[in-house]
Amino acid sequence: MKKVTQNSINEIHEGYKLKKWSVEEITKEYIGRVQKLDPKLKAFLTTAFDEAILKARELDSNLRKDEEVIERKPLFGIPYGAKDLFSTKGVRTTGGAKIIDNYVPPYDATSIVRINEAGGILIGKLNQDAWGHGASGEHSDYFPTHNPWNLDYVPGGSSSGSGAAVAARILPFATATDTAGSARCPASFCGVCGLKPTYGRVSRYGILSMASSLDSIGHITTKVEDSARILSVTAGSDEFDATTTPAAVPKYEEQLTGSIRETKIGIPKEYIDGVTPEVREAIKAAARQLEGIGCKFVEVSLPHTQLAVPVYYIVQPAEVSSNLARFDGNRFGHDRQTFGDEAKRRIMLGTYTLSAGYYDAYYRKAMQVRTLIREDFSKVFSQVDALLGPVMPHTAFKLGEKVSDPLLLYLEDVFTAPINLAGLPALAVPCGFGSGNLPIGMQIIGPQFSEGLLFKIGYSYERVTDWHLQIPPIAQNVYS
């Protein structure tokens, strides 16, 4: 149980089939890893160890009675953590915000229901920027999470705990949300895989809403194959979320293999401008690797890219101001003064842009430009099958370096926000290291509901590289 490769869902399942270990042993192994490393990482806000062990014993009993249960439950006996935006029945859910510090939901989010029914074992709830407002993990109302590659650096946000925990191999996978890059940013900064599905592919029911027209429900894993398996479980229509699609859900893990020769991939010139030299070189090297296995690359243009951040920071705060209006102290025990500074800032921005006399000048205009951004992608996808570019313009930065300047943090979303505005899927995959041995991530972007293609490209890339196998020094002793 100590080897790095055993963090793969397939490899854990193979051990169950061969009776190398029990579900209880695997669960206790991961609990031990959390206890050993999390005091340094600060990835967890709430743990559910006792409940996890009880669930593990139940699954062991099921396995003794029926060895085929593993085939029917694709996440059988796999421990995981949930970003604290996900409602979890009987387990405290704060959204990283102290205003609902004592909230214990009476129900599970739809994606949590599906993961649990597939055999997943919830270990605990993961730290995040409060309400999902942030790109660094420093806006949690509790404490910042640390990057496992260097504890003095941010892990990225807002799914900071998810990225750090998976990168440090204290969890096989974690749930995440992505409103402007909140799954892809920590995946990039921490050197793991982060998925932002097509808007509506995964139900938002039971997720504390940030911006309802932008929120996508994803996850963070160490490998692409695990990401594909999890999406096969969580995707699909939901009667509780009218924005979900009725489109059938394929078994994405069955779409991983096969040739990607002649796959035409565009590199947006706007996504190469303005990045650090080391990020630019990592993306170019990744393109060469994919070219070596048959992909065709062309330069394309997304001309409204530079407008994505201004548009996003009009649309998103407007929706935030509406979604956070319900937290008024009447139902959750704390008044609105408990909101953190960033939440207050976004509420005020959103209220202003929606107010009489400013709606047409700001919000309506932003929605018109959002349409132009969506049309940019539509035109490009008439020419290519997918796009390749950086997730972030640079590697992780030091804790405290930008937290006092909100504008600098908002600009972190320059390559991720456009995808959310257009409702497209994107897969972040590690593709190198920069100065200070800090990870660099690339994102593969596709048309709506093209997750299968993104997984195939990402999986093919993993077959010819080993970036996804690298683990932070702090995690090395976990396997001793």
Question: pTM higher than 0.85 for the full model?
Answer: yes
83 is catalytic: yes
The secondary structure of residue 453, as a DSSP letter, is: H
pLDDT given for residue 334 in this prediction:
79
Reading across the β-sheet that carries 264-268, which strands appear in turn? 44-47, 120-126, 78-83, 173-178, 216-221, 193-196, 426-433, 439-445, 386-390, 264-268, 296-300
pLDDT given for residue 367 in this prediction:
96
Query: Alpha-carbon distance 168 to 193, whole Å?
Result: 13
The gap between the terminal CA atoms of the chain, to the nearest Å, is 10
182 is catalytic: yes
**Residues 136, 140, 159, 182: which is the catalytic one?**
182
**Residues 42, 83, 223, 402: which is the catalytic one?**
83
186, two tokens: 């920590």
- Find out whether 193 and 224 touch, Cβ atoms under 8 Å: yes
| Nearest-10 Cα torsion for 402, 407, 410, 414 | -110
If the chain, 480 residues long, is cut into consecutive pieces of 10 residues, what is the mean pLDDT of each piece? Answer: 72 95 97 97 98 98 97 98 98 96 96 98 98 96 98 98 97 98 98 98 97 97 98 98 96 94 97 94 98 97 96 93 81 77 88 85 94 98 98 98 89 96 98 97 98 98 97 80
pLDDT given for residue 60 in this prediction:
98
pLDDT given for residue 480 in this prediction:
45
- Please state which CATH class domain 4-479 belongs to: alpha beta
- Find out whether 430 and 220 touch, Cβ atoms under 8 Å: no
State the amino acid at position 2 in one-letter form: K
**Domain residue spans of the chain:** 4-479
**Residues 8, 158, 162, 209: which is the catalytic one?**
158
